[in-house]
Structure formats: C-alpha cells, structure tokens
C-alpha cells in the first residue's frame, strides 16, 4: 500500500467516525424532550405553591388533614400527655432515632405537622390509633408514635416533616 492511499484511508475513516458521532449526538439530543415531557408540567408546578393553614379551629387532641402537592398532611394539636410520651422514650431505642424537639417548631411544641404517607409502601396511616397514641397504618401494621416516629412494624423511617413555618401563632405556611 502506498502512502497516499493510507492517507486516503485515514481521511475516510475520520469522515465515517465524524458522521457516526454527529448522528449519535443528534439521536441523544432528540431523546431529551421525549423524557423531559414526563416531568411535572408548569401548571402542576404552579399548583404546588405553598399553602397557608389556619390552626385556630383545631382543638387540643384534634387533628386535620390538608393536601399539599397531592400529599395528605396531618396537622395534630397534641395533648400534654402525647407530648410527654413522645419525649419520655429513650431516643437511642428508636428504629429511626430523632428527638421530638427536632420534629416540631420551637415554642409551638403542641403542633405536629407530618406528611401522612407511611414510609413502608405509601398507605395513609390512621391518626389516634395504635399502641403509641399516634398513627397506625392498616396496610401492613406499622405503628407511629405521637411524634410520628416509627415504633413497630415494617416501615423503616419516621413520617417525614414537610417544609413549613409559623406565619403567626395560629397560622402556618406549608411549602
């Protein structure tokens, strides 16, 4: 083989590789919109904006369920007894150790705000049921205490706390 023909060869190979590479880049770029369309659309994102909840109507020992981003949020006005129980348990003995203080806002200790979705497989636990004065999940029997922490059953984690803040003493903003 002469030098010219091998140079010709490299040039040809380069052309083939370049064409193939550009085709691959194009195909990859074309897939992006097809995947991206599955994410929440603009109206869903806008509808997921923060909401305000008035706490005044919730009496001690009562709870309400509100929806934010399609998720049920339990807002519980806990009794003295419930708070004491939650704080009495040794944190180290819990499956997902967390103090009660870390799960409520300081100065508003009676208010427990949790996302009411069982951390096992997503059922909705029932408030004021189970052995720990908290929540009981009917699906597979997970039990949460009055701080929403997992105490017994297959669920691995405590009920999550949504982002929220007190706007005033009787109003919170979730989100």
Interacting residues toward ligand FES by CB under 6 A: 118, 120-123, 137, 139-142, 153-155
Q: Which residue's CB is nearer to ligand FES, number 113 or number 118?
A: 118
Strands (DSSP E) contained in 26-110 are 51-54, 63-68, 71-77
Residue 23 site contact among ligand FES, other proteins, none (CB < 5 to 8 Å, cut-off depends on kind): other proteins
Place of tokens 């399609």: 70
Of 117, 124, 128, the C-alpha closest to 159 is 117
Other Cβ atoms less than 10 A from the Cβ of 46: the count is 9
Q: Which residue's CB is nearer to ligand FES, number 112 or number 155?
A: 155
List phi, psi (to 5°) of 128: 60, 35
Residue 167 site contact among ligand FES, other proteins, none (CB < 5 to 8 Å, cut-off depends on kind): none
User: Does residue 56 belong to the site contacting other proteins (CB under 8 A)?
Assistant: no
Which ranges of 49-141 would DSSP assign to H, the alpha helix?
80-88
140 noted as active-site residue: yes
3-state secondary structure of 151: strand
* Binding site residues, other proteins, CB under 8 A: 12, 15-16, 18-19, 22-23, 26, 29, 33-34, 36-39, 41-44, 46-47, 49, 57
By annotation, the residues acting in catalysis are 140
């Amino acid at each position: 083989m002469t030098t010219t023909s091998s140079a010709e060869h490299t040039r040809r190979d380069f052309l083939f590789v370049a064409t193939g590479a550009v085709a691959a880049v194009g195909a990859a770029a074309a897939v992006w919109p097809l995947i991206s369309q599955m994410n929440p659309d603009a109206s869903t994102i806008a509808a997921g904006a923060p909401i305000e909840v008035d706490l005044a109507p919730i009496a001690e020992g009562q709870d309400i369920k509100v929806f934010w981003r399609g998720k049920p949020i339990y807002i519980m006005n806990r009794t003295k007894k419930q708070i004491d129980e939650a704080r009495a348990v040794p944190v180290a003995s819990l499956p997902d150790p967390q103090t009660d203080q870390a799960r409520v806002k300081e100065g508003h200790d009676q208010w427990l705000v949790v996302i009411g979705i069982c951390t096992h497989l997503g059922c909705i636990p029932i408030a004021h049921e189970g052995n720990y004065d908290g929540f009981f999940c009917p699906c597979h029997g997970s039990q949460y205490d009055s701080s929403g922490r997992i105490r017994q059953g297959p669920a691995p984690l405590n009920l999550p706390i949504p982002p929220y803040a007190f706007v005033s003493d009787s109003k919170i903003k979730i989100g």
